[in-house]
Amino acid sequence: MPIGIFDSGIGGLTVFKEIAASFPKVDLYYLGDTARVPYGNKSKTTIIRYSVECASYLYHNYNVDAIVIACNTASSYALDTLREILPIPVIGVVQPGAESAVKVSKNKKIGVIGTSATIKSNSYFETLKSLDKDLEIYQKACPLFVPLVEEGWIDNEVAKLTVKEYLDDLVKTGIDTLILGCTHYPLLKNTIKGLYPHLNIVDSSVAIVEHLKNIKLNIEETGKRKIFITDESHAFDKLKNMLVGDIKTEKIELSDLCS
Number of residues that bind ligand DGN (CB under 6 A): 16
Least distance to ligand DGN, CB of residue 76, Å:
8
| Residue number with CB closer to ligand DGN (66 or 117) | 117
- Alpha helices, DSSP H, located in 71-203: 72-85, 94-104, 116-121, 123-131, 145-150, 157-172, 189-195
Which residue from 4, 40, 96, 97 is in contact with ligand DGN, where contact means CB under 6 A?
Answer: 40
CA distances, 132 to each of 1, 101, 127, 182, 209 (Å)? 34, 11, 9, 22, 22
In whole angstroms, the minimum distance from the beta carbon of 216 to ligand DGN comes to: 27
What does each C-alpha distance from 75 to 137, 221, 246 come to in angstroms? 19, 27, 28
Q: What is the rounded distance in angstroms from the CA atom of residue 7 to the CA atom of residue 75?
A: 10
Quick one: which of 56, 105, 115, 233 contacts ligand DGN (CB under 6 A)?
115
Euclidean distance between CA atoms 249 and 204, whole angstroms: 24
Kindly identify the residues of this chain, within the stretch 157-186, that bind ligand DGN according to CB under 6 A: 182-184
16, 29, 39, 196: which one binds ligand DGN (CB under 6 A): 39
Sole binder of ligand DGN in the list 35, 58, 68, 71 (CB under 6 A): 71
Q: How far is 252 from 230, CA to CA, in rounded Å? A: 5
Shortest spacing between CB 120 and ligand DGN, in angstroms: 12
Min dist CB 56 to ligand DGN, Å, is 19
Burial of 118 (0-12, 13-18, 19+ CB in 10 A): buried
Q: How far is the CB of 127 from ligand DGN (least distance, A)?
A: 15
The residues in 119-138 that bind ligand DGN, with binding defined as CB under 6 A, are: none
Q: State the Cα–Cα distance between residues 55 and 86, nearest whole angstrom.
A: 9
Q: Is 71 a catalytic residue?
A: yes
> Rounded CA gap, 115 and 168, in Å?
17
Tell which one of 1, 2, 7, 95 touches ligand DGN (CB under 6 A): 7
Give the C-alpha separation, 10 to 70, whole Å.
Answer: 10
Would you count residue 37 as binding ligand DGN (CB under 6 A)? yes
Look up 142 and say whether it is catalytic: no
The residues binding ligand DGN (CB under 6 A) are: 7-8, 11, 37-40, 71-73, 115, 118, 146, 182-184
Q: Which residues are catalytic?
A: 71, 182
